[in-house]
Structure 1
Amino acid sequence: MKYGKPEIFNTNQGSQFTSEVFTGLLKEHEIKISMDGKGRALDNVWIERLWRSVKYEHIYLNVHEDGLSLYQGLKRYFNFYNRTRVHQSLDYSTPREAYMAKAA
């Protein structure tokens, strides 16, 4: 494999991911399979919302000439997202503030 392999592949239980061809390939490469429970479509709602924010607030607004530029831009964005950007669902606090309050 050119870029290495993941330890775990997470997906839903759609037929394209549960087929013997697909799961067999993962097993052949000793990749663990993790699937969301059947009928648990909302399991991914938080991560889907995060990636929507990343795309609309950073990716679509910035041109990155190479992988390093993209990495650095995303690093800055996630720092902003976690430490500066308030979230309505967190009662207008940042994720870091919400985490620290819960950890205390």
Structure 2
Amino acid sequence: MTKRTRRNHTPAFKAKVALTAIKGEKTLAELAQLFDVHPNQITAWKAQLLDGAAGVFGSGVASAEAPSVDLKALHAKIGELALENDFLEGALIKAGMLSVKR
């Protein structure tokens, strides 16, 4: 018995097999023989197609409504907060309410 090398199937091939399985015109055994893949692999591709099918119709709308992030404003806020923390830390050390070994 010879060992078969690992095959990589294209997404188009996987979609074709999964769509054929969804149609239900042939059994898994017939499809496995026709496309030369294991029946479990066909079942996995079919489930993957059904899980991702909703994303085909809804993915464009969600990405268009995503809020844009202003990185300059965020960096400015981080700098401002870091400055306040340093100032307050120094004031607490001078007041004796915070140890220097921190």
| TM interval, short-chain normalised | under 0.3
Higher CA-based Rg: 2
Structure with the larger strand share: 1
Q: Normalising to structure 1: TM-score of the pair?
A: 0.22
